[in-house]
Structure 1
Amino acid sequence: MHGRSTRPRLLSRRSRYRRSLTALVLASAAPLLCLPLTASDAAALTPPVALTADSLPTWQTNGIVYALAQAGGTVFAGGTFSAVRPAGTSAGDPAERSAVNFAAFDAATGAPTGCSLSFTVGSGTATVRALAVSPDGRTLYAGGYFGAVNGVGTSSLAAIDIATCTPRTDFRPSVPATVRALAVTGSTVYVGGDFTSVDGATRQRFAAVDTSGALTPWTANADAPGRAVAVTADGRHVAVGGDFFTVNGSDSHALAVTDAATGAVTRNYPRGFFPDTSVVKDITADASGVYTANEGTGGGVFDGRTAFDPDTFAERWRDTCLGATQALQLYKGLLYSASHAHDCSSMGEYPDGQRRHLLAEGTNDPHLVGWAPDTNDGIGEGIGPRVFALAPKGGTDYLWVGGEFTTVGGVAQQSLTRVSSGPDTGAPTLPQVKVESIEPGRVAVHWRSSYDTDDSHLTYSVYKDGGTTPVYQVAGDSLPWSRPQLTWTDTAVAPGETHSYRVSVSDGTNTSAKSAAQSVKVASAADSYAAAVRGDGASLYWRFGETSGAYAADSSGGDDSGVHWNAPGQGVSDGAAGSGSSVNYTGSQGEWTYSDKLHSAPSAYSLELWFKTTSTTGGKLIGFANKVQLPSTRFDKHVYMTDGGQLVFGAYPGAVRTITTVQRYNDGKWHHAVATEGSDGMKLYVDGALRTSNPFVTTSEAGSGYWRVGGDNLDSWTNRPSSRFYTGQLDEVAVYGKVLSSSQVLAHYKLGTGAS
């Protein structure tokens, strides 16, 4: 087994408006160069985003919030909890108030209102799992598992008079199992859950009662729990979702569309439309369509979102992010989702790794936009956010989020948070900057583009020598998971001078601080080694001159910067090829550096770096792989070291193919390595000389991925070392989209060692 994943392969990143950087590498011949910025340049809330990502002060619960609804500026929250407390306080705080599975809050202030209801049960654990408000805003319907509301007997389904905050005694249908979903029209309450009867009549997992609580003829019997119900925009259909495989005997797994009057299936989705291991957790609908939130378990699942035509209910698009989608909210042309999406690589978005719990995408284009506030997974099942409610008040729209999280934006906040339609108060992150002069009379100011969780289009200002007026401005697009490098080259300098630079960033309303000043002496002559690397066509060139942060600048002339993961040691005062510093990887902590940019697998390539180690556990020096923050499941085009210090170069043209040096290089000295593959086969050079080759291996694995340095998966490869992760120093990493000649390799080695 080679370690290949059964998950969908990475797709090439599509060319989209947000990936187009304005002037990635620009040069100035004058002391002042400010690009004209129009009104469409950075402005808070980059369209089509219309909600900020700024968390507002909100009271919290001490348990899980499963349900939210709103009416008249009041937000109702239900779940499994016993108390609420102010933002910024811990459980047990003196300000904590009793709240038995239910609380009501002012949408604009986040503080509790005077409405207090207790949902209890005689045995077991009471819980509120669904809330919905009647179209006239007068009645709140609640479903879950409970036997009384404020002592008034109920059976898992209740109606609350909102004006008086009291349970209605005339609404008492008997539902003998948990209610998980509600949808309400002017005349009907549609219910989904675990039950198999209502009022003693057979109603399997779905039912409908009228506003007085009487059972209606609507019948949509399913063979497994119902989790979602939504009425279509025209009121003629009801979409139902859950775990089921049949509805009214019709083959329809996880989703079905029914007649709103009878329950007859009007559109089914046969087994195979969704994987057997996937279920529908939420459905929302408006005039643009019907949308589902899916959750799956095991391999080959569907965890993302799906859009359906509003008239035919045919699938319009499918978002294949992995990460258990729980809830959806439509707002001004975007579909907001709550999940713990950890792998969106199949859509050309970010690869498997960090979980992101709140995302947004277009209703006609399922690609992610620049809105990404975040929570953690929290308690319970480790789901994170579970439910939304959009609540307007005083001219502002508030998006409330409930779930089982315990932090929001890294700050303690349990189970409830909210954002709004404005104002935007959050500034972008501070730019990470690297300044260098490797050409005479020129200074390159590189920086990793910042991110703002509700603004993907930002404007950067460069300041020189302590000045207060920017000498250069440029706009660029970025996302929290895609932060391309930008570069400005200052030519208004003279050899031997020393200059300092700082960079700030603005979203049009909020501006970051300036980065720390970085000084550089202007080169009087070209750096001969760097000039050779650049001149021979490196498309990625990490010189590892940074002293801190996660950013590894690209000196190739492009924007292929790196990201340090798990903080390898930077600024080690022992560099190769005259660079002055290197990066040290300890191996034991799984440290590595990966490219920020997704690449198509090259057909011909060269990998170059300098290394220094005494390790006897080996590890990967450089390679191409499909993940950035986790061990990869597709990996080849790599150079690694054995426990004995030999170097191995491997490719995977359908099978493992490797070449290995006889010589050992774990002697504590700097060595230069170059691996090439193309029409002339595989070659591995060390210290300027060809050490081993195979002329018959001319291809490697196709697909897209990322360059990784310092460690990654090596399972099933020849002479696999004890460790996947390299222990030692690395420097002057370069990647070329072609095969370097032996004379070029030797020239680089001689320049790097100062040999004549």
Structure 2
Amino acid sequence: MRKSWGLAAALVLTVGAAGVGGWALAPKAGAVTPPVAFTADALPTWQTNGIVWALAQAGDTVFVGGTFSEVRPPAGTTGTPKGAVNFAALNAATGAPTSCSLSFTVGEGSATVRTLVVSPDQKTLYAGGYFGAVNGTPVSSLAAIDIATCKPKPAFTPSFPATVRALAVTDDTVYAAGDFGTVNGHQRERFAAVTTSGELLPFKADADEPGRAIEVTPDGSKVLIGGDFFTVNGTNSHALAVVDANSGAVTKAYPNGFIPTNSVVKDIETDGTGFYTGNEGTGGGVFDGRIAFDLSNYEQRWRDTCLGATQAVEEYQGVLYSASHAHDCSTVGEFPDGRRYHLLAQPTTSTGKLGWFPDTNDGLGEGIGPRAFTISGSGATKYLWVGGEFTTTNGKAQQGLTRFATGPDKGAPTVPQVSAAAISPNQVHVRWRASTDLDDSKLTYKVYRNGSTTPVHKVEGDSLLWARPQFSFKDTSVTAGQTYSYRVTASDADGNTSALSANATVTVPTSTEAYPSQVVADGASLYWRFDESTTPYVADSSNGDHNGLYVNAPTLRQTPPAVNGPSTAVALNGTNQKLYSDKRVNAPSTFTIETWFKTTSNRGGKLIGFGNNTTRNSGSYDKHLYMTNTGNLVFGVYSGGTRTLSTWGSYNNGKWHHVVGTQGPGGMTLYVDGKQVASNGVTGSQQYTGYWHVGADNLNGWPLRPSSTFFAGQLDETAVYPTALSAQQVAKHYALATAPADTVSTVTATDDTYANAGAPGTNYATSTSLAVRGTSAYESYLRFNLPAAPAGTVLKNARLAVKTTTATGAGTADKVSVVPVTGDWTETGVSYTNRPSLGSAPIGTLSGATDGSTVYSATLDPTALASELGGSYSVALTSTGTDPLWLWSSEAPAAEGTPQLVLTFGAP
């Protein structure tokens, strides 16, 4: 990131051989979400066996400096490692070594190259660090290399007796920062300037602690210096200062406190209007992020207070790329303390992060990760090179070096995780969590129904790795009693498309489900029903699209649920399982929290609450319901102190209980099982941004704190409202939980086969296919063991579901009749010559089954099946047409549980 300023135009040069390994030049850029310029697809690049501290470029060559002894081919490729003593030169487009080879050595200790910079005319490479010779030529921690010959310039011999950590160069001057106290025997403390021939200049910017960064302003009049220092030329200026380019006199100081005492500047970058610092700190209250300054007055433009030791910054086309291990950006409204992000991008105008997320690991040494950037390439394709102490890139082995191009973008978004639910006869609500794409924040989603290749819905949406909203689609073209399946894909602007999601299947009820409909009607902004069959996505059934995430795979699909109907509950182990919302929101001042729980635990735990973190314990936490060791319930907020309501009774008796806490203008109220049990007049609570938690979070300092913050038991129907529900609303919710509700039973065929008039004596019991046609005839036969109707219910709806095969022409334009079988048959005994007799009247018709690999349904007359409940029942599929229908039999892995009967039972 050391720009070289001067009048000379940059020359396009390629040093040495075209490269080893044969990787081709990448074509022109594909589409990534603007203004990001680089894809997140890591290119094959030779790697080091140690730490890379410095990068620089000249045309199509990238120079690499650090602490290493060899370079080797990318993982998974062939090639022989090459000796490389703290330096390498690589082809920008291929990532392979050139013929330029230099060894940086020292007589005592360990040599290292800490900084590299190329002169404005692209003819000289300057290297700084701690070394005493280059290819045997004596030097003193600073060397000049002739790029054309790849040889050190023997006449350039300034003496720096300690490590040089940063360089900047103009047409005639080399500026240095580091640990030194003298240069050429003259006092120059931590900062100095020499001519391009090596003579010491009058420039003097003496600092009391090491210099780590140096940069010349675009007009050449000022030098920006950064490091650990607290004074420059006796002036109070901590970690950063602006000095005169000729004299070194301080022209802009940043007194101690502007950057905290325990923080330093590790890098400085400039563009046409501003300059940017990368900062690192140690201990509490540090500043680890980035600051943008205006060059017109050197005043702060913005400050990014993310925590995570920024090592390098690089500006390109209005975007600031940063290398760090950012782990907490909550102070700028982004992700809380948690996983580390090693490479980030943001506009030069703001702190907001852009959708660019390639990643490394912490790696060797200090465990920092990436440490250096450069942008190379003389043609249309540019390459962002990253160096550091990492050992992986995007999860794959790659040490010390990696690179990213301006195109093409080849990475597809992740597969969406989809949920589908219906609580009324006229609508299915399809929901999915936003996908991620490492270099595209804007994605297009397409929803497909019942296996069709034509989407029924399309929507664009933005997401970041830590902000993956829920998208939804309401399908109103549905029929009560029918079952529908939905799949979703995600695509980026370059056409890279994820695989289809798993099918989300739902049967539309024949009557409205009373409890969930009331929750939605009462204005829930978060409503988790826990009906998922896979983790980690928790669908939000409210209109707020406030989805959540399961942590450590709780046990799903628990029955019986708390509320009558087809829903299920979730079980938590009380050790490490919980849920949290995926959406950062402001803490509400008026709210209701509601959940159902069932437990026998004597260790308590949090049921639901609000906190400022996600996977880690929150530092701010209140607006919660928790259980004590003895099974009592506590509802609490923080308003200058803990304010709580609690129950006298215990509720850890293994039965489902309903608990609600509200706070509004009238104060706090606690309800259990539909009844008010406690209240007070407290109206205030702590205000901060955060996330809803279910099943666990911090409870330190709260009254009657349980042994465990993790709840062990089952939870169901968790909801949050932006209002304080009334006593009448709470009582109604409790009563509706036991209201009669439709139940759905799915029955898979116990026997299925078909008969073929063209092979009248053949039995097809082991076939994975079924067939239906009028001429020449195929008939299929299906047997089901029907359940008895649940007590107090009748059969309200029946449907036969089948799935077409993937064979060409599997679908049919003909109508297929579903006819009762009246004769006896066995799967292994039936053939066309001894096929069973059939009833005369169809009980249902399958039509429009024209596509392959698609689930289709035929509505059946429920009265025809009602008398057969509790016993065996057989139907045949017949047709009078000539267009065959090919279906998967129950023996086929692709059948998705078909053929099956879907039976809906409800109140008479």
Identify the match of residue 67 of structure 2 among 61, 74, 80: 80
> In structure 1, how many angstroms separate the alpha carbons of the residues matched to 2:426 and 2:665?
40
Aligned counterpart, 1:36: none
Letter aligned with residue 417 of structure 1: T
Give the Cα separation in 2 of the matches to 1:97 and 1:667: 70
Counterpart of 1:188?
173
The alpha carbon displacement at 1:529 in A equals 0.8
Between 696-705 and 644-653, the greater mean CA deviation after superposition:
696-705
How far does residue 236 in structure 1 lie from its aligned partner after superposition?
A: 0.9
Q: Is the 2:312–2:371 contact (alpha carbons within 8 Å) kept by the matching residues of 1? A: yes
Query: After the TM superposition, which residues 591-670 of structure 1 pair with which residues of structure 2 at under 5 Å, given as runs?
Result: 591-670=577-656
CA contact (8 A) 1:539 1:737 kept: yes
> Partners of 1:173 and 1:379 in 2: how far apart?
32
SS in 1 for 2:382: strand
1:32-431 → structure 2 map (5 Å cutoff) = 44-89=31-76, 95-431=80-416
Tell me which residue corresponds to 2:701. 716
Within 2, Cα distance between the matches of 1:552 and 1:83? 48
Aligned-partner SS, 1:538: coil
Q: How far apart in 2 are the matches of 1:180 and 1:737? A: 55
CA 1:506 to 1:170, structure 2 compared with 1: closer, same or farther past 3 Å? same
- Aligned partner (choices 583, 586, 602) of residue 573 of structure 2: 586
Deviation, 1:571, is 3.0
Partner of residue 825, structure 2: none
Structure 2 Cα separation of the partners of residues 101 and 684 of structure 1: 67
Partner of 1:703: 688
Deviation at 1:696?
A: 2.5
Are the equivalent residues in 1 in contact too, given 2:313–2:322 (CA < 8 A)?
A: yes
1:531 aligns with 2:514: no
Where 2:736 maps in the other structure, the secondary structure is: helix
Which secondary structure state, in structure 2, belongs to the residue aligned with residue 534 of structure 1? helix
Q: Which amino acid aligns with 2:169?
A: V
Q: Provide closer, same or farther for how the CA distance between residues 95 and 613 of structure 1 changes in structure 2, counting only shifts above 3 A.
A: farther
Report the equivalent of 2:465: 480
Over 3 Å counting, the alpha-carbon distance change for 1:515 and 1:226 in structure 2 is same
Equivalent residues of 1:548, 1:571 under 8 A apart: no
2:34 alignment partner AA: P
What's the offset of the Cα at 1:413? 1.5
What is the percent sequence identity of the aligned residues? 61
Name whichever of 566-575 and 263-272 sits farther off.
566-575
Deviations 1:661-681 (A, max 9, x none): 122222222221111112222
Give the equivalent residue in structure 1 for 2:728.
743
Aligned length: 710
TM-score normalised by the chain length of structure 2: 0.77
Matched residue type, 2:459: V
Match of 1:263, SS state, is coil
Per-residue CA distance 1:416-449 (angstroms, 9 max, x = gap): 1111111111111111100111111211110111
Contact in 1 for aligned 2:33/2:493 (Cα 8 Å): no
Report SS of the residue matched to 1:235: coil
Match of 1:549 among 528, 535, 544: 535
**Alpha-carbon offset, residue 89 of structure 1:** 4.9
CA contact (8 A) 2:670 2:679 kept: no
Deviation, 1:394, is 2.9
Shift of 1:138: 1.1
Q: How many Å separate the matches in 2 of 1:79 and 1:622? A: 50
Give how far 1:573 is off: 4.2
What is the deviation of 1:649? 1.0
8 Å contact from structure 1 (residues 291, 305) kept in 2 = yes
The amino acid of 1:88's aligned partner reads: A
The residue number in structure 2 matching 1:24 is: none
- Computing the radius of gyration from Cα coordinates, the structure with the larger value is 2
Note if contact 2:361-2:391 (Cα within 8 Å) is conserved in structure 1: yes
The one-character-per-residue Cα deviations of 1:556-591 (angstroms, maximum 9, x if unpaired) are 1221111223332333344321353222222322x2
Determine if contact 2:54/2:115 at 8 Å carries over to the other structure. yes
Partner secondary structure for residue 65 of structure 1: strand
Q: Contact conserved, 1:130 with 1:181, CA < 8 A, in 2? A: yes
| Secondary structure of 1:373 counterpart | coil
**Partner of 2:377: helix, strand, or coil?**
strand
Amino acid at match of 2:75: G
- Of 236-245 and 152-161, more deviation after overlay is shown by 152-161
Displacement of 1:610: 1.1
Distance 2:486 2:602 in 1: 42
Using the TM superposition, give the Cα deviation of residue 148 of structure 1 relative to its aligned residue in structure 2, in angstroms. 1.5
Distance 2:412 2:100 in 1: 36
Give the structure, 1 or 2, with the largest relative contact order (CA under 8 Å, sep 6 or more): 1
1:445 corresponds, among 425, 430, 436, to 430
Whole-angstrom distance in 2 between the partners of 1:581 and 1:393: 60
8 Å contact from structure 1 (residues 322, 344) kept in 2: yes
1:628-647 per-residue CA deviation (whole Å, 9 max, x = no partner) reads 12111000001111122211
Aligned mates of 1:570, 1:119 — CA distance in 2: 60
Structure 1 residue 614: deviation in Å? 2.0
Give the Cα separation in 2 of the matches to 1:220 and 1:361: 32
Going from structure 1 to structure 2, the CA distance change for 1:154 and 1:574 (only over 3 Å counts) comes to farther
Per the alignment, in what secondary structure is the counterpart of residue 346 of structure 2?
strand
Deviations 1:354-373 (A, max 9, x none): 21111111112221121121
The structural deviation recorded for 1:475 is 0.8
Partner of 2:761: none
Larger mean CA deviation between 571-580 and 674-683 belongs to 571-580
Provide the secondary structure at the position in 1 that maps to 2:128.
strand
Name the structure 2 match of 1:25. Answer: none
User: For residues 173-202 of structure 1, what are the alpha-carbon distances to aligned partners after superposition, in whole Å with 9 as ceiling and x for unaligned?
Assistant: 111111110111111111000010111110
SS state at 1:271 partner: coil
Match for 1:289: what amino acid?
G
What root-mean-square deviation, in Å, do the aligned CA atoms of Structure 1 and Structure 2 show? 1.6
Q: CA deviation at 1:727?
A: 1.7
- Between the aligned partners of 1:303 and 1:592, the Cα distance in structure 2 is 31
Letter aligned with residue 519 of structure 1: T
The CA distance in 1 between the partners of 2:431 and 2:39, in whole Å, is: 29
CA offsets, 1:14-67, max 9 Å, x none? Answer: xxxxxxxxxxxxxxxxxxxxxxxxxxxxx9311111211111111111111111
CA–CA distance in structure 2, aligned partners of residues 154 and 587 of structure 1:
64
In 2, the alpha carbon distance for the partners of 1:85 and 1:529 equals 64
Runs (5+) with no aligned partner, structure 2: 1-29, 742-908
CA displacement 1:266-294 (0-9 Å, x = unmatched): 11111121111111000011212111111
In structure 2, what is the Cα distance between the partners aligned to 1:683 and 1:82?
69
How far, CA to CA, are the matches of 2:298 and 2:326 in structure 1? 25
CA distance in 2, matches of 1:277, 1:646: 46
Distance in structure 2 (CA, Å) of the matches to 1:645 and 1:44 = 57
User: How far off is 1:755 after superposition?
Assistant: 8.1
1:672 is the counterpart of 2:658: yes
**d(CA) in 1 for partners of 2:127 and 2:292?**
27
- Tell me how far apart the structure 2 counterparts of residues 568 and 149 of structure 1 sit (CA, whole Å): 60
2:80 and 2:421 map into 1 onto residues whose CA distance is 55
Equivalent residue of 1:713, what SS? Answer: coil
- Please state how far the C-alpha of 1:549 moved relative to its aligned partner: 2.7
